[in-house]
Structure formats: structure tokens, C-alpha cells
Amino acid sequence: MKIRYLRQDDLCSVVALVERIKIIDLSKKEIYQTLKSDFEWISKTFSLALVAEEKEKIVGLITLEEYERTRQGVIAELGYIAVDKDYQQKSVATKLYEEAVRRLKKNILKNNFFLRLIKAEVDSLDNTAQSFYTNLGMEKAVEIPNYWSQENGLVIFVKRFN
């Protein structure tokens, strides 16, 4: 498996991946517009987007987006993390996350900043995502009940860096 930066010509394949695994409740056109906008934002900040590729097929995506930049460092937000169903439970998401953090830290350091914190937001009913973030060494920082609806809230996970 190869991990590389997302390219503009990958957007249709990534939209198909996001649509197949239904990580966001948007139409194909809305997913494309959102990802295209994110791609343009990423190119102007410390943010990055990586894809996992197997046999010339995109099987995973991760975005780490600059959330805040101060003298104390950069806070990044885990935006998308998506893995094709046939490749789930095979450490693809973990490898994408680790490579994204490594590249982001290197890029930030090259510009005389450092990575201070990564945050991720997750639905309180999504136990799989919560378990994944915990396994990455992230800590549950905040839980807001009834954020999305009466049944489910928002959980914010963070990982601090020295």
C-alpha cells in the first residue's frame, strides 16, 4: 500500500469512496464541492490530505486541517478519515493517521512552528470512531450531550504534542 498526497485528479475517486462508506450525509455533488473546497484550503495552510492507494485504487483518505496557528504552536483538526470497507480492520486508517502526523509535524517545523495539538470531533453514538481515537492515544476532552439531536451528542478527542 502506498500513501501519498491527494491530487486534484483524485477528487472523483475520493468522492466515490466517501459516498460508498457514507461518512457524511451529502449528495455526490455536495461531497465533491466540499472536498474541492477543502483541497483548495489545504494548499494554502499547514493542512494536508493523504490517500492510501492499493493497486492504483484509492482505498483511504485522511485530512488534517490547520485549526489555529499561534506563537504557542499549531492546532490541527482531523477532518476526514475514510477507509474502503474491503480495507477496514487492516490498519489502513492508523497508517494514514501516523503518516499524516509525521508529514504535518515536518512541514510545520520547517516553517519554525510546532504541532501543539490534534483534535477530532465524533458523534457520541459512534463507538467505533471513539475506540479508534483512543487507540491512537487521543483522550476524550469534552462531551456535549444532545449536540446533534436529542439522542446523540458530540465528543471531542485531543492528542497533545510537546
Instruction: Provide the pLDDT for residue 23.
Output: 65
Instruction: Provide the pLDDT for residue 57.
Output: 93
CATH of domain 2-160: 3.40.630.30
All structural domains of the chain with their residue ranges: 2-160
Instruction: Provide the pLDDT for residue 20.
Output: 79
pTM: 0.86
- b/e map 101-112, b = 16+ CB within 10 Å: beebbeebeeee
- Please say whether the beta carbons of 100 and 123 come within 8 A: no
CA distance 138 to 145: 20
> What is the number of alpha carbons within 13 Å of residue 128 lying toward its C-beta?
6
Instruction: Provide the pLDDT for residue 24.
Output: 64
**What are all long-range contacts of 3-6, with beta carbons under 8 Å and residues at least 24 apart?**
3/50, 3/51, 3/52, 3/53, 3/95, 3/96, 3/99, 4/50, 4/51, 4/53, 5/48, 5/49, 5/50, 5/51, 6/39, 6/42, 6/49, 6/50, 6/51, 6/61, 6/63
Residues of the chain falling short of pLDDT 70: 22-26, 28, 41, 43-44
